[in-house]
Amino acid sequence: MTNELNKGAILILSGPSGCGKSSLLKKFYENFTNYYFSISTTTREPRTGEIHGTDYFFASKEEFEIDIQNDNFLEYAKVHNNYYGTSLKPITKALNEGKLVIFDIDVQGHELVRAKLDAITTSVFITTPTLSELENRLNKRDLDAKEIIQNRLKNAKIEIDSIDKYDYLILNDNLDEAARQFISVANVALIKTKLFNKARIIENWMKN
């Protein structure tokens, strides 16, 4: 079937910091192979345990602004007072290889990618069942300072207003159940009709 596909597909995952996106992706990787996770570039400080080139490419504000000037980003946005951006080159390569390209990006990035690559994009918004549970998880994760957590909660209250712009919504209460839902979305993201080469499908269908 792959030769009837025009290219790969994009799956955008957004949701407030602390809702469980990384935990969910970990479970997803155990169940899915034909994917490429887009490693973003950011100007925020690495958290304890984060690895350059695995979690993010950590860059200075000056380096990031040079990349903006050179048109190296498919999209970028300022989130929680730091730059975050998706580099174009590796994405193009993975799409040409027919992969499902996963983006963990914010609501602004989602709108920018939709505007450019709507036909091949599927999106899912992930959140906790309640705001207080989000606060619990951010505190429990214990990776950010108090004022950073407050800033993330403030941002979450704004982000939640965008849920209706997404194709799917996952309320991450039970992690295993949420992971199953996310895997279902990943599977359907790869069979969107717009991903297929209609002429080739019909030609094959007629002659067999």
Output the CA torsion sign for 11, 158, 80, 132.
negative
Question: How do beta strands 82-87 and 73-79 pair?
Answer: antiparallel
The nearest distance, CB 51 to ligand ADP, in angstroms, is 15
Rule CB under 6 A: which of 41-70 touch ligand 5GP?
Answer: 44
Tell the residue number behind the tokens 């300072």, with chain if given.
145
CB of 20 to ligand ADP, least distance (A): 3
What CA–CA distance (Å, rounded) separates 106 from 42?
A: 13
Sheet of strand 168-171: strand arrangement: 35-37, 100-104, 9-14, 121-127, 168-171
Total of chain residues touching ligand 5GP, rule CB under 6 A: 15
Q: Among residues 6, 23, 72, 108, which is the contact residue for ligand 5GP, using CB under 6 A?
A: 108
Pick one of ligand ADP, ligand 5GP, none as the site partner of residue 8 (Cβ within 5 to 8 A by kind). Answer: none
Partnered with residue 100 across adjacent β-strands are 9, 35
Judged by beta carbon distances under 5 to 8 A according to partner kind, the member of ligand 5GP, ligand ADP, none in contact with residue 109 is: ligand 5GP
For residue 11, the minimal CB distance to ligand 5GP (Å) is 13
- Rounded-to-integer distance, Cα 137 and Cα 132, Å: 9
d(CA 93, CA 161): 33
| Residue number with CB closer to ligand 5GP (126 or 189) | 126
- Interacting residues with ligand ADP between 123 and 182 (CB under 6 A): 137, 140-141, 172-175
Asked if 20 interacts with ligand ADP (CB under 6 A), we say yes
Footprint of ligand ADP (CB under 6 A)? 15, 17-23, 137, 140-141, 172-175
